Amino acid sequence: MKGICKLCGKSEELLNESHIIPDFIYRDLGIFNENHTLNRLTVKKEKEPIVHSRSIPSSEYEAGILCSKCDNEIIGGYENYAKKAMFGGALPSDESPIVTDYVTPQNIKYSQAVGISYPKFKLFLLSILWRMAISSRPIFYQVELSDEIKEKLRLMILNDDPGDLNEFPIYGMTYLNDPSMPRDIIGQPFRAEVDGNTIIRILLGGIFILYHISIGFHDENRIENLVLNKKNEWKLFHIEVGKGWEFFFKHASW
Ligand SMILES: [Zn+2]
């Protein structure tokens, strides 16, 4: 099908299948169940939390949004890095993350990845945000961003530009320290308005990715230690053991 590619804006032959959440995340996190369909959560507001596993097609993809070059080379390049960084694979030593667990004197626990490429990993995560925002798939309905924000993201991804620290800073939280919590879940993305700022949150296999939808709002010094930063560090803050579901549902109903 010929059409306008949403990333490069050119008239091209468009792919029939562009993944919104990268395929490797489903495969490598064991998120497929034995029927090769995805386990996911559906959350209903203002009711007792109902968690059920529901089979949906093996991954969320969409036709007619991207040309082959944009999907396979540009986005594929970011995914290739992220896959190796997250699940192992040959990488140059300065781009190969090493993760260490810490506890602060205030008893805040976190895992810190050092040596994770700020440009590549941030653009990988932003490419998921952008794809969710342009997707018409129902599961992503809360990821509605303004045209201005979508255009800014599009140009960053297209031009290999991860932006400054305070442009779409990305926080990470995890419950993977709690063995009772499931790893094989992709949570429906949620939108929250906090102090006049929009946060989009998605759960990918036990890691909550929190995108702060802002450009230049934050003081860079204040957030450097909290977000994926230019020193190639990213902290994943641990959710207290036993509080994983509470965190999931509390913030799901923001
Ligand atoms: Zn394109």
| Cα-to-centroid distance, 202 and ligand 1 (Å) | 25
| Cα-to-centroid distance, 124 and ligand 1 (Å) | 16
| Cα-to-centroid distance, 130 and ligand 1 (Å) | 14
Q: Which residues surround ligand 1, an ion (CB under 5 A)?
A: 5, 7-8, 67, 70
The pTM (predicted TM-score) of the whole model is 0.88
| Cα-to-centroid distance, 65 and ligand 1 (Å) | 9
| Cα-to-centroid distance, 158 and ligand 1 (Å) | 9
pLDDT tens by residue, the chain, 254 residues: 899 999 999 999 999 999 998 877 776 665 554 444 445 444 444 434 444 444 444 567 899 999 999 999 999 999 999 988 887 778 888 898 888 888 888 888 898 889 999 999 999 999 999 999 999 988 888 999 999 999 999 999 999 999 999 999 999 998 888 888 887 777 778 888 877 789 999 988 788 999 999 877 677 888 899 999 999 999 999 999 899 888 887 755 44
| Cα-to-centroid distance, 155 and ligand 1 (Å) | 12
**CB contact at 8 A, 237 and 208:** no
